[in-house]
């Protein structure tokens, strides 16, 4: 068993969302590179700073992998792919509903664009349809691509994310700070939109149709005021990524465009990636469209020319190549791969995807058909990539773009190995397409994260074998030899012998089984091979001695002791119809009757609740029953009796939820 203060404990009461007591009940736990387009002006390479010692990337020597990560379902990819087999018909319907000129969507699973669909025209007057090789302008999705270049320079020791931007771009010192002790703007501030810079620089085309020049942009910094202290909060800034493009050129010694071609587009085989519409091969450009007075789509001949600002939103790329880029992002997972690196190191790609700064939290009414009481969503920003977590999804990494009449959106779930994207060449709600694509994948039931699996389990397996030997035939010497000194101090032999006897009574003889859950090299949970019913055994080892620090079994498919069933019925009945005196007679003083009474009031809207079957009992003598109420989701009533089995000294009642939020 596990002792108080460890992972399992028997001294609390959780009623709905209320918590009482001091502990807690246990819980089941490369194509050739295309010719370069003309480059934007760059600073004199002689002005770049000397390489810096890259302390940020210093790590201990690698001694090998202790774990691997696998998808447990071998049919997962086939199931996910089947779930988007109707993509073309779906997109044609959505294209009509959105009144879009042209659309392209893609679904990536692991390393492959498994499904795509196109709708409408890349050039409506010419009656030319969109296809996989149609080239769209992706707007601000350029920012994560710029970030890949920054991180590659960091990994090469040529810059540091937490160094002041002024180390590489002295002109930034012209910006006025808010206070005399304001911290300097760092590269990390720029990457996470927390620099205090305004969204735009406020400069116009000063290069005769070639967009904003570098000299003009830097000159505009003189007298520009920050809007808040660097690092104090989040505010999206295109200007910040313009400055990052200039830093890339100065530190690398080559123009920004050239660096991206040589270090990102070339290695990844993104042959369609370009910065100018004129450089797109004939018959490939998805031209920008807008509706005329007769509600007919016409090509808008205007192209917004960015100049030095292109590092924040100027890239053109095909759907086929963007699918390859998204697969490369997903290829950063899992850690510890032996396959060769392509482009930026996997660890650095993972770093960019991780949430680094909280950006907001919202609670909104649930979407139509959603089971949740409300839709709660938290959002964050990593290194240019943004992300969110809500009731439906684990952390979703995303970025979108809007430039001229192009609208783009992309999202991926790194731990789940899936990504989606949507491109439009007219004003369209591509965010809706992204959400629906993710929902299609979720509805397959195959959207699950990788599981961590150990590469070496001999210590855990040996400890389990020792435990099962004592389980089968009690032997005091073997029992004492398998336990850590800490465990011996915390647990009485009599209690543990009784616990093992109870397991034998419920399950008969048990043999070693498969590992269900792996937490660390010292913590795991096994499903044992027993004569009857189901027994899972959680095992905890001492990190130093590798002896057993604790164990607890979880039994299912068994009957509850009569006294426990009677107590559970009484407790649930009193929550249905409150009786203060009867409740005080049922429970010990550990339980706060005020909290129980408050829950009874909350249950009035769904009462009565009826006690169902025993779902599980564990070695710490917690019993968990299903409770079905008149409305709402099922609940789990968990109950613990005191030593003489006369009074309840632990009680929980919690809704069963299929996700992160409470269900209706």
Would you name the residues annotated as active-site residues? Answer: 140
Bond prior to 334 in cis (omega within 30° of 0)? yes
Q: How many CB atoms lie within 10 A of CB 294?
A: 6
The tokens for 6 are 């460890």
Query: Within the chain, how many helices (H) and strands (E) appear?
Result: 18, 25
The residues, any chain, with a CB within 8 Å of residue 340's CB and separated by 6 or more, are none
Please tell me whether residue 608 adopts helix, strand or coil conformation. Answer: coil
- Taking alpha carbons only, the member of 171, 27, 63 closest to residue 554 is 27
What are residue 339's DSSP bridge partners?
none
Structure tokens at 380: 């964050």
154 class by beta-carbon count within 10 Å (0-12 exposed, 13-18 middle, 19+ buried): buried
H helix runs in 18-141, sequence order: 76-83, 87-98
> Cα(96)–Cα(447) distance, rounded to whole angstroms?
29
Structure tokens belonging to residue 354:
């991780």
Cα–Cα nearest to 454, from 394, 526, 392: 526
The rounded distance, in Å, linking the Cα atoms of 386 and 382 is: 6
What is the distance between the alpha carbons of residues 232 and 211, in angstroms, rounded to a whole number? 32
List Cβ neighbours of 658 (8 Å cut-off, separation of 6 or more): 371
Structure tokens at 19: 């918590």
């Amino acid at each position: 068993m596990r002792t108080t203060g460890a992972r399992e404990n028997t001294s609390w009461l959780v009623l709905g969302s209320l918590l009482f007591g001091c502990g807690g009940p246990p819980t089941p736990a490369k194509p050739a590179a295309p010719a370069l387009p003309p480059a934007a002006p760059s600073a004199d390479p002689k002005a770049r700073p000397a390489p810096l010692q890259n302390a940020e990337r210093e790590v201990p020597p690698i001694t090998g992998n202790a774990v691997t990560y696998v998808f447990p379902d071998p049919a997962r990819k086939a199931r996910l792919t089947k779930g988007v087999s109707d993509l073309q018909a779906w997109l044609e319907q959505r294209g009509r509903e959105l009144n879009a000129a042209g659309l392209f969507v893609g679904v990536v699973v692991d390393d492959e664009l498994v499904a795509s669909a196109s709708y409408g025209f890349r050039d409506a007057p010419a009656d030319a349809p969109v296809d996989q090789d149609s080239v769209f302008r992706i707007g601000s999705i350029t920012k994560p691509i710029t970030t890949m270049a920054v991180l590659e320079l960091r990994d090469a020791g040529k810059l540091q994310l937490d160094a002041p931007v002024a180390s590489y771009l002295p002109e930034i010192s012209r910006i006025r700070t808010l206070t005399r002790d304001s911290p300097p703007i760092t590269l990390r501030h720029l990457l996470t939109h927390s620099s205090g810079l305004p969204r735009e620089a406020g400069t116009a085309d000063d290069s005769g149709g070639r967009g904003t020049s570098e000299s003009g942009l830097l000159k505009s910094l003189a007298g520009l005021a920050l809007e808040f202290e660097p690092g104090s909060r989040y505010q999206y800034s295109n200007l910040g990524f313009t400055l990052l493009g200039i830093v890339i050129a100065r530190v690398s010694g080559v123009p920004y465009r050239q660096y991206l071609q040589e270090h990102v587009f070339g290695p990844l085989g993104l042959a369609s990636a370009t910065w100018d519409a004129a450089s797109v091969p004939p018959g490939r450009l998805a031209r920008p469209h807008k509706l005329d007075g007769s509600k007919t789509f016409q090509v808008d001949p205007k192209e917004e020319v960015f100049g030095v600002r292109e590092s924040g939103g100027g890239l053109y790329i095909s759907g086929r190549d963007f699918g390859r880029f998204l697969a490369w992002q997903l290829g950063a997972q899992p850690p510890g791969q032996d396959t060769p690196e392509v482009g930026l190191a996997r660890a650095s790609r993972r770093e960019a995807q991780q949430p680094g700064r909280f950006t907001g939290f919202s609670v909104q009414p649930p979407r139509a058909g959603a089971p949740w009481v409300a839709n709660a969503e938290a959002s964050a920003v990593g290194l240019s990539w943004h992300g969110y977590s809500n009731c439906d999804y684990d952390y979703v990494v995303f970025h979108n773009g809007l430039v001229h009449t192009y609208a783009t959106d992309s999202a991926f779930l790194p731990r789940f190995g899936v990504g989606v994207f949507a491109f439009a060449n007219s004003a369209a709600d591509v965010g809706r397409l992204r959400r629906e694509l993710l929902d299609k994948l979720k509805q397959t039931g195959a959207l699950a994260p990788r599981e961590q699996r150990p590469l070496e389990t001999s210590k855990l397996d040996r400890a389990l074998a020792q435990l099962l030997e004592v389980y089968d035939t009690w032997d005091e010497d073997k029992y004492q030899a398998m336990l850590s000194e800490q465990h011996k101090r915390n647990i009485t032999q009599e209690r543990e012998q009784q616990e093992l006897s109870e397991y034998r009574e419920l399950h008969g003889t048990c043999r070693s089984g498969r590992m269900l859950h792996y937490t660390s090299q010292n913590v795991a949970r096994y499903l044992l091979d027993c004569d009857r019913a189901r027994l899972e055994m959680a095992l905890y080892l001492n990190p130093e001695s590798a002896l057993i620090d604790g164990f607890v079994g979880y039994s299912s498919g068994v009957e509850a002791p009569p006294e426990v069933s009677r107590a559970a019925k009484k407790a649930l009945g009193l929550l249905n119809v409150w009786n203060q005196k009867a409740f005080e007679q049922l429970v010990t003083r550990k339980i706060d009757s005020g909290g129980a009474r408050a829950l009874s009031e909350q249950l009035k809207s769904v009462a009565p609740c009826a006690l169902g079957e025993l779902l599980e009992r564990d070695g710490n003598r917690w019993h968990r029953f299903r409770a079905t109420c008149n409305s709402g989701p099922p609940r789990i009533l968990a109950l613990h009796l005191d030593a003489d089995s006369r009074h309840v000294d632990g009680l929980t009642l919690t809704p069963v939820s299929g996700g992160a939020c409470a269900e209706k």
